């Protein structure tokens, strides 16, 4: 079965492939203070329990992605990132919706994520998709100046 979801800007969303590791690492590095190596993405892309959803055009140029980890009845959003030139166009929403839709066919019954309380765009995205804050972790996200921001742990039921 081919999995495909529509996305804004003439893009679509489909499962990530092994060859995407470098593109995902580059987009991720643009969105976070600490990047992850290509090998980390190559490993995620090779495992069934860490599905990746990529937003791309017909030539498969990738504009953003979401990475999930499924363990038994829980799913976790490990990361989501959109290329800076594509932000604010609804791709984040589309990626999260595609992941939530696909997870309906998995063993997961509840989904969790962590987000900096300072990340306004991500908080809006998660709240709109029904996530609520269940706890917080102080001093979790390192900042460039040596201080650290509080992480919010959010969750929602699937289905």
Catalytic residues: 114, 126
Residue from 7, 62, 70, 80 touching ligand COA (CB under 6 A): that is 80
State yes or no: residue 61 binds ligand COA (CB under 6 A): no
Please report how close the Cβ of residue 1 comes to ligand COA at its closest, in angstroms: 26
Distance (Å) of CA 52 to CA 89, 99, 102, 150: 20, 8, 11, 26
Is 82:119 a contact under the CB 8 Å cutoff?
Answer: no
67 binds ligand COA (CB under 6 A): no
Nearest CB to ligand COA, comparing residues 9 and 107: 9
Applying CB under 6 A, the span of 13-21, 78-86, 100-108, 131-139 interacting with ligand COA comes to 78-86
Ranges of H-type helices in 1-159: 21-31, 38-46, 91-103, 120-128
């Amino acid at each position: 079965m081919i999995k495909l979801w529509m996305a804004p800007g003439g893009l679509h969303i489909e499962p990530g492939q092994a060859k995407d590791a470098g593109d995902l690492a580059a987009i991720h590095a643009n969105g976070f203070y600490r990047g992850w190596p290509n090998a980390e993405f190559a490993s995620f892309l090779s495992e069934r329990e860490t599905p990746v959803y990529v937003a791309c055009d017909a030539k498969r140029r990738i504009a953003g992605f979401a990475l999930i980890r499924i363990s038994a009845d829980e799913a976790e959003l490990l990361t989501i990132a959109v290329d800076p030139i594509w932000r604010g166009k609804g791709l984040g929403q589309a990626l999260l919706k595609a992941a939530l839709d696909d997870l309906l066919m998995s063993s997961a019954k509840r989904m969790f994520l962590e987000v900096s309380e300072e990340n306004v765009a991500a908080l809006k995205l998660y709240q709109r998709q029904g996530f609520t804050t269940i706890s917080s972790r102080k001093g979790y996200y390192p900042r460039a100046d040596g201080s650290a921001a509080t992480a919010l742990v959010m969750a929602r039921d699937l289905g």
